[in-house]
């Protein structure tokens, strides 16, 4: 029986278009009431991973000038993450997911990416042969 829970997925590389160093795909623990909420929950997991990877990189003595970038394909989620005020449509979202609002522009940069360019979607949706061919270098390296 379908439980209606969404699947969260993310993937990270150290450099733009570089091979992946971290990735995850997992069913969400709650049933989201909207696509925006499901994406917001997934973004929360991605932010936690960015924070961990940033600390890991710093602990081995690597410095970088640019904030880590997280790409998101849901514009409503980007608006929700960037706006610290409560909205009527988002007040039901558990407070534990709202910590990302304090991290936006402090510990990472959030940018829009069209769905057809979103690499992480191949971990959460059925992928076509064309999509796999398009992203195989990013997935497996050169």
Question: pLDDT tens digits for 23-78?
Answer: 898 998 888 878 888 888 899 899 999 889 988 988 999 887 778 889 999 998 89
Say which residues have a Cβ less than 8 Å from residue 97's Cβ, sequence separation at least 6: 40, 41, 44
Q: Is residue 30 part of a domain?
A: yes
What is the model's pTM? 0.80
Please report which residue ranges of the chain form alpha helices under DSSP H.
35-59, 75-82, 100-103, 129-140
Domain that holds residue 131: 7-140
Q: Is residue 2 part of a domain?
A: no
CATH number of the domain to which 86 belongs: 3.30.420
More confident of the two residues 116 and 92: 116
Longest dimension (CA), the chain: 49
Q: Is residue 128 part of a domain?
A: yes
Q: What is the mean pLDDT of residues 66-92?
A: 79
> 20-27 and 109-112 as β-strands: parallel, antiparallel, unpaired?
unpaired
Structure-block tokens of residue 54:
């940033």
Q: Is 119 exposed, middle or buried (0-12, 13-18, 19+ CB in 10 A)?
A: buried
- Number of separate domains in the chain: 1
Q: Is residue 98 part of a domain?
A: yes
pLDDT for residue 75 = 93
**1 has a pLDDT exceeding 50:** no
Say which residues have a Cβ less than 8 Å from residue 86's Cβ, sequence separation at least 6: none
**87 has a pLDDT exceeding 70:** no
pLDDT for residue 89 = 62
């Amino acid at each position: 029986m379908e439980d209606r829970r969404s699947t969260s997925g993310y993937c990270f590389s150290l450099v733009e278009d570089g091979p992946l160093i971290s990735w995850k795909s997992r069913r969400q623990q709650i049933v989201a009431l909207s696509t925006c909420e499901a994406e917001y929950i997934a973004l929360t997991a991605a932010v936690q991973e960015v924070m961990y990877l940033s600390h890991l990189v710093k602990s081995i003595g690597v410095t970088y000038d640019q904030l880590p970038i997280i790409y998101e394909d849901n514009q409503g989620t980007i608006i929700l993450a960037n706006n610290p005020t409560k909205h009527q449509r988002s007040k039901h979202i558990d407070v534990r997911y709202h910590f990302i609002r304090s991290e936006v522009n402090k510990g990472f940069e959030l940018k829009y990416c069209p769905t057809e360019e979103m690499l992480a979607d191949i971990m959460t949706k059925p992928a076509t042969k064309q999509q796999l061919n398009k992203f195989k270098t990013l997935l497996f390296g050169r």
